[in-house]
Chains A and B, each alone.
Chain A
Amino acid sequence: MKPVDQLALIASSTRASFPEALAKAGWPSLRPARLEVFQINLGKLCNMTCRHCHVDAGPTRTDAMMSRATVEACLRALDQTPAETVDITGGAPELHPEFRYVVEEARRRGKHVIDRCNLSVLLLPRNDGLIEWLAERHVEIVASLPHYRKRNTDAQRGDGAFDKSIEALRLLNAAGYGRGNPERLLSLMMNPAGAYLAPPQRELESEWKAALQRDFGITFDRLLALNNMPISRFLEWLQESGNLEPYMTRLADGFNAAAVAGLMCRNTISVSWDGRLYDCDFNQMLELDAEPPMTIETFDFERWQAREVVTRGHCFGCTAGAGSSCGGATT
């Protein structure tokens, strides 16, 4: 479904107005806070095709890959900002030919680097030695794992995904990841396997740690819980399964004023594979450009910080319940 059609579908599925909800909560406009995260989406190429994917990524998506020139523009822009974290995502960013270059350059600048990893990509023969390479550079791995039980993970990511994830987690543990060392951080990111809100991440973390240790001898550092966004493949599933309106109502009814301050659109810059700038990865997928539209080639930090965040109905996904972001709950 085209982004413009997705936006129309989202708008028609709820009567709730996000700007009205914000205003009622004391936020007449949504302005940036201090910029902390520089998020680079290297493209849509991925070795997996997940049912909940909001990026519409997959093995055939070589049409959407960041060029070396855009990578260089990202690095130049990064130097203008105070962002401490470079968050590399995709697709599977590890499949991008410039992945290691981006990591090296960001580390050379002293940035904390996050690799948003689907785990199974680490098992591909072409990525032999990648885990150790990342470990040597103190790159944090934020790995998607819908659930610590096989059934729930495979339902979302396809048969066999869970076993591969466990194998990759064991390799990460063997390289020193997930054992409390701040230079080998392993975070797991879960999202619900359906049309309901993410569970409370703090309560879930101890349960996940106990279960993965007990069942597989696996350890990790922290759990992040993310709401599913009504975008792309998940939006299509919501519509086909008759869950769209109830889910949008659930998101809007779950509006939590306390989640607004920590919204990632306030502390993140999101760069798409083609160098356009967005308030967040979700706006990027809906092609809702930052306002005014900007590109990384002509990046101006003051102009970026002076903008107002662009919102639509899908934004209720980030303010529902405990709040939701690429860094997990926002409350």
Chain B
Amino acid sequence: MMSEHYYDSDHLKGFGNIAEGSPELAKKFFDYYAAVFAPGALTEREKALIALAVAHTVQCPYCIDAYTTESLQKGADLEQMTEAVHVACAIRGGASLVHGMQMKEHADKVGM
């Protein structure tokens, strides 16, 4: 049944059902996803904290819930997770501000 509101938390549990429209692409995606989060040059916790920060940048509530739990289960705590969110925040804020250079250059160009 269709939700009466956007962002239903049950969507995350049913994420696998996205395969219905294209099983091949879903398999490729989920295999790739699992490989990305496997331990490698970065630890699972480092990857979970990066995912948590990115989740805040892309403002995905599913990802925020999922990677909050995942970060905790990989041994991160609230202080580390909050710092990760501030990294996302700083990059977002910095990205806006650094565009100010384009604004400034354009203002200089068109101004007298």
Residue ranges of A at the interface with B (Cβ–Cβ < 8 Å):
147, 149, 151-152, 192, 194, 196-200, 203-204, 207, 250, 321
Contacts and interface: CB of A to CB of B under 8 A. Distances in A.
A242 to B, nearest CB: 12
A194 B72 contact: yes
22 contacts: A147-B77, A149-B77, A149-B79, A151-B77, A151-B78, A152-B77, A152-B78, A192-B73, A194-B72, A196-B73, A198-B73, A199-B45, A199-B72, A199-B73, A199-B74, A199-B75, A200-B74, A200-B75, A203-B75, A204-B75, A207-B75, A250-B69
Interface residues of B, number: 11
A192 B78 CA distance: 12
Q: Which 7 A-B pairs have the closest CB atoms?
A: A199-B75, A196-B72, A197-B73, A204-B75, A196-B73, A196-B69, A152-B77
Contacts of A321: 73
B17 interface: no
B57 interface: no
B77 A192 contact: no
A interface majority secondary structure? loop
Contact of A151 (B44, B45, B75, B79): B79
Interface in B56-90: 69, 72-75, 77-79
Interface of B: 43-45, 69, 72-75, 77-79
A183 B45 CA distance: 34
Contacts of A151: 77-79
Nearest to B74: A199
Contacts of B72: 192, 194, 196, 199
The listed residue with most A CB atoms (<10 A of its CB), out of B73, B77, B78, B79, is B73
Nearest to A207: B75
A207 B75 CA distance: 10
Contacts of A194: 72
The listed residue with most A CB atoms (<10 A of its CB), out of B43, B69, B79, is B69
B43 A203 contact: yes
A190 to B, nearest CB: 9
Contacts of B69: 196, 250
Given A192-B72, A196-B69, A196-B73, A203 B45 contact: yes
Nearest to A147: B77
Nearest to A198: B73
A194 B44 CA distance: 20
Contacts of B45: 199, 203
Contacts of A203: 43, 45, 75
Given A147-B77, A192-B73, A199-B45, 17 more contacts: A149-B77, A151-B78, A152-B77, A192-B72, A194-B72, A196-B69, A196-B72, A196-B73, A197-B73, A198-B73, A199-B73, A199-B74, A199-B75, A200-B44, A200-B74, A200-B75, A321-B73
